[in-house]
Amino acid sequence: MNLTDEIKPSTKNIKYYFIIYIVVWTSGVLAALYWDISQLKDSSIMVARISAEISYNKDIIYRRWVANHGGVYVTVSDTNPPNPYLKVVNRDITATKGLKLTLINPAYMARQVNEMSEGAEGFKGHITSLNPIRPENYPDTWEKESLKSFERGAKEAVTFAINSGKEYFRLMRPFNTEKSCLKCHASQGYKEGDIRGGISVSIPMEPLRFVEYLQIKKRLLSYSFLWVLGIVGIAVSSRRLWNQMTYREKIEDEILTLSITDHLTGLYNRRGFLSLAEQQFKLADRNKSAILLFFADLDGLKDINDRLGHEEGDRALIEAASVFKETFRTSDIIARLGGDEFAALAIDIKEENSEIFTSRLKYLTDRQNKLEGRKYKLSISIGSSYHDPEHPLSMDELISQADKLMYEQKKTKRL
């Protein structure tokens, strides 16, 4: 029985702290990575939105410039045929040298520019309304719903859409009828300030997503490296802490062992015996188990010290301790209480076993005395008391009974 076995080393908790630190560190790194990637994705959307707003504003400025000049004349060609939907005076004219010109209105100009942008940049711009003149300006399903929302007061519409397997960011805003627009659209019943339609812009996300992918890849590598550094740091710190705590606990165990151990015999001292005995009594009461308590004295120790010296007296105590260790079981609590007094606590045992122990003690003592070259006779007086779980006694009562029987045996030896 070892008192230090009852103490759980705190180093056992380090592995749990190590796991907790890893979980916390990993969670923190993952949270930061998630936030960083979210910011990258938001940045991609922001760039797409800014690009869409620039394209939208460009269309508005171009349209306004052309409208303020009443349209512009361009050379008639296969790519610039006369606009059959434009019903105005002097739509087509011939220059003095016979050059044929046709009037390009803002909508026609915007459509051609958007077609060029789609081919060169991938941007898609579309002028549309719920009442278009040109069939190409008819709204798609999303544009139609957006135009209806403008009539209810909405200022813009935004969505992501897949077209031909590619992702697009779509932005649509209304445009109002200006005075310069009435030259072409007054016949449709529009008045200045009316919502005449909307301009939708589609920004391809593929280039932005590619940049986003590269940035995310870099972030993953960076955070992985950071995570590994953190794990290494935690491991090194935990190892250092483990070594420090192991050393501290070793010192504490040594101090504890010294405080409960008799330095001469290696048995428990009075403090260690009483502490362990108290624990065993609590267990016995809870488990309804029996206990045998033995009290013993090394007879004639004073005479040995006086005749042969204290060194020989110490040897006698060590010899008595050895006999006690051989008499009792390893699970029993054996102690030198001080001076020539010894005690043993046998756990979970029957009362009749008391005779077995005392007989064995006598046999081992006699065997020692038969050894050659002895200077003194080893003699041990012993008494026992029994803790019955059905009729329990206190520890003080057991000690008193065992001590009384031990002294009775000692008196008998003197007669």
Indicate whether 52 and 165 sit together in one domain. yes
Q: What is the pLDDT of residue 7?
A: 41
- 297 shares its domain with 172: no
Residue 229 lies in a domain: no
Residue 239 belongs to some domain of the structure = no
CATH number at residue 149: 3.30.450.20
Quick check: 6 pLDDT over 90?
A: no
Query: What does the alpha-carbon distance between residue 3 and residue 280 come to, in Å, rounded to a whole number?
Result: 11
Do residues 200 and 310 both lie within one domain? Answer: no
Q: Is residue 369 part of a domain?
A: yes
Shared-domain flag, residues 198 and 289: no
How buried is 376 (Cβ within 10 angstroms: 0-12 exposed, 13-18 middle, 19+ buried)? middle
| Domain annotation covers residue 256 | no
Q: Domain check: are 203 and 289 in the same one?
A: no
Sequence-separated (6 or more) residues with CB below 8 Å from residue 393: 385, 387, 401
187, 211, 235 — which closes off a domain?
Answer: 211
The answer to pTM > 0.95 is no
How far from the centroid of its chain's Cα atoms is residue 242's Cα? 21
Give pLDDT, residue 362. 92
278 is a domain residue: yes
pLDDT band at 131 (very low <50, low <70, confident <90, very high): confident
pLDDT band at 197 (very low <50, low <70, confident <90, very high): confident
399 closest CA partner among 301, 280, 277, 261: 277
Distance CA 77, CA 99 (A): 11
Residue 328: its pLDDT value, please?
Answer: 92
Q: Are residues 278 and 154 in the same domain?
A: no
- Token pair 């490296």: residue: 225
Q: What is the domain extent for residue 391? A: 270-414
**Chain-wide mean pLDDT for the chain?**
84
Same domain, 314 and 394: yes
User: Are the CB atoms for 62 and 110 separated by under 8 Å?
Assistant: yes
What is the CATH classification number for the domain harbouring 362? 3.30.70.270
Domain count, the chain: 2
In a domain, 6, yes or no: no
Q: Is residue 79 part of a domain?
A: no
| Burial (CB count <10 Å: 0-12, 13-18, 19+), residue 322 | middle
Same domain, 205 and 283: no
Which of 173, 192, 211 delimits the end of a domain?
A: 211
Q: Which of 127-141, 211-225, 246-260, 388-402 reaches the highest mean pLDDT?
A: 211-225
Is there a single domain that holds both residue 197 and residue 300?
Answer: no
Terminal alpha carbon distance of the chain: 38
Could you list the beta-strand ranges (E) of 124-225.
124-128, 157-163, 166-176, 195-204
Q: Could you say which of 191, 211, 231 is where a domain stops?
A: 211
Inside any domain, residue 262: no
Same domain, 197 and 49: yes
- At residue 253, does pLDDT exceed 80? no
Amino acid residing at 30: L
pLDDT, position 177: 66
For residues 75-96, average pLDDT: 79
Residues 124 and 35 in one domain: yes
* Mean pLDDT on 185-205: 73
Residue 8: predicted pLDDT: 44
- Please give the pLDDT value at position 309: 93
* 51/151 same-domain check: yes
Tell which residue, 363, 352, 354, has the closest CA to residue 406.
354
Q: What is the mean pLDDT of residues 119-123?
A: 61
Q: How many CB atoms lie within 10 A of CB 158?
A: 14
Rounded Cα–Cα distance for residues 64 and 172 (Å): 18
